[in-house]
Amino acid sequence: MLTLVTGATGQVGRGLVPRLLAQAGPDERVRVLVRDENRAAAYADLGAEVTVGDLRDTDALGRAVAGADAVVNVAAAFRGVPEEEALAVNRDAALELGRAAVAAGVRRFVQVSTGLVYGAGRARPHVEDDDSVPGGDLWGAYPQSKAAAERALLSDAAFAPLDVRVGRLAFVYGDGDPHLARSVSRLADWPAAKRFHLVHVADVALGLTRLLYAPGATGRVYNIADDTAVTALDIHGILGVGLHEEAHTRTDPDPWYGVLSTDRIRRELGFRPLYPTVWTARDAGAL
């Protein structure tokens, strides 16, 4: 089995690729698609095949999927990028990758998405069968483009030959990723009691590995998150940053926004996070 991973040098890819290589059996290989070959040198040392190219280059996609049995599409554009770039990478390039995979005879396609696709809250944790309802503090081109890619990959007849699975990630943190610390400026405008879900990058790798290898998961969508939603106050405390006094008097108009149910991935795939809470990760020195 040959598995292609896109987005291999990003934070999620850096957690996933070494895990796949470490667990690979004698007949299993891992290939990565990267724009800078030097950034994949460590993967090559571990035994990965390296293909150089851009996700938006159809010729590069053809080379990357040639001979592959499975694809894990981790690549994403989301931190401060223009709307047109988010759409070009998260939607258009993902679908072009899907078309290249079909043409190459790839059997399995794992699309990495985000829990933000749910949009506005439902007065309960979001479950995988919920529709996307645009809205909420973090709605924008990133979740919009990811939702569009999901819908096409799961329902467009052009992708019917693929065994598509989707992993919707909570807010990813851990192992030196500055994403959590950089979020403080935005969280400062939230009520202190506002909750949202996190997931450690090691648990993202664990969840995506389950999606990749699980039998009988064709067409299924899975939330990947830790066990406990945290508050804006919690995050400020963990990072040692003070919270404005007015945050304690603000009310939350959508208290279930960003809170995900993990019942499906726990029951169907046996997922149990290595870091059940952000406090566990902090105490383990894994922030």
pLDDT of residue 150: 97
pLDDT of residue 183: 81
Sole residue written with tokens 């590069």: 60
Sole residue written with tokens 């890819």: 13
| pTM of the predicted model over 0.75 | yes
pLDDT of residue 241: 85
Q: Hey, what CATH topology would domain 2-171+198-225+260-273 get?
A: Rossmann fold (3.40.50)
Q: CA dist 103 to 9, 24, 30, 218, Å?
A: 26, 25, 20, 19
pLDDT of residue 180: 83
pLDDT of residue 22: 95
pLDDT of residue 129: 97
**Could you say which residues of the chain have pLDDT below 50?**
none
pLDDT of residue 82: 87
pLDDT of residue 179: 79
pLDDT of residue 239: 87
Sign of CA dihedral 189, 192, 194, 196: positive
d(CA 274, CA 283): 13
* Spatial contact of 177 and 257, defined as CB atoms under 8 Å apart: no
pLDDT of residue 93: 97
